[in-house]
């Protein structure tokens, strides 16, 4: 049972599927102060500012042996905001942000975030990845992750599919077998 219920990690719910909007809205990557991602998302939601900060379920045991469940940021320190310059300034006023970076290729960012969202929705065990390593580019051929594209990496002798948010060079990986993927020709 969770200590606290799961909070919404995306606002509005259709943020990654709706059209980009007009020229006045841009994507921004907000680098938060240490362990302030959820607080920032709460404040952005209260101000009705569009954002996404992927949360994943983590289970651990208490010293007495009870199973604890919590929801932690997958991409620690990062929240993604889509809004106007005014909304960016409002976000900075929350005092939860260390840096704010504009996104040059919004389409690539949205594509990457959609893939991360699909990984989380699959409820497969995820491993946060802090830095990308070079490897073969692949696409999943079948199953619930059909169509996801990523890089094959090797961790502890096992092959994993790394889905990345290129802009911040972070992502998540999931264990995968060779037969489940096909090489993407470059």
* pLDDT tens string 57-91: 888 888 898 988 889 999 989 999 999 999 999 99
5: exposed, middle or buried (C-beta count within 10 Å: 0-12, 13-18, 19+)? exposed
CA 137 – CA 184 distance, rounded (Å): 6
- For the stretch 101-127, pLDDT in tens is 999 999 999 999 999 999 999 988 887
CA 145 – CA 163 distance, rounded (Å): 11
For the domain bounded by 124-186, which CATH number is listed? 2.30.30
CB atoms within 10 A of CB 17: 10
pLDDT above 90 (res 44):
yes
Q: Which residue has the tokens 């469940």?
A: 69
Query: Does CATH number 3.30.70 belong to domain 1-103?
Result: yes
> What is the reported pLDDT for 36?
96
> What is the reported pLDDT for 184?
85
Query: Could you tell me the pLDDT band of residue 182, with boundaries at 50, 70 and 90?
Result: confident
Q: Where are the domains of the chain?
A: 1-103, 124-186
- What is the pTM assigned to this prediction? 0.83
Average pLDDT, the chain: 89
CA 54 – CA 79 distance, rounded (Å): 8
State mean pLDDT over 26-49.
96
């Amino acid at each position: 049972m969770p200590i606290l219920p799961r909070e919404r990690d995306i606002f509005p719910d259709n943020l990654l599927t709706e059209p980009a909007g007009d020229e006045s809205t841009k994507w921004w990557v907000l680098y938060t102060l240490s362990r302030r991602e959820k607080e920032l998302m709460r404040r952005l939601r209260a101000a009705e500012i569009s954002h996404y900060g992927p949360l994943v379920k983590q289970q651990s045991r208490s010293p007495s042996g009870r199973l604890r469940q919590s929801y932690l940021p997958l991409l620690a320190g990062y929240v993604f905001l889509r809004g106007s310059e005014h909304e960016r300034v409002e976000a900075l006023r929350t005092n939860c942000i260390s840096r704010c970076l504009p996104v040059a290729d919004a389409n690539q960012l949205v594509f990457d975030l959609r893939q991360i969202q699909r990984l989380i929705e699959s409820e497969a065990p995820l491993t946060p990845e802090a830095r990308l390593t070079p490897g073969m580019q692949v696409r999943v051929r079948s199953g619930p992750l059909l169509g996801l594209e990523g890089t094959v990496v090797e961790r502890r002798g096992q092959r994993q599919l790394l889905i990345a948010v290129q802009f911040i060079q972070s992502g998540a990986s999931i264990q995968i077998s060779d037969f489940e993927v096909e090489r993407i020709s470059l």
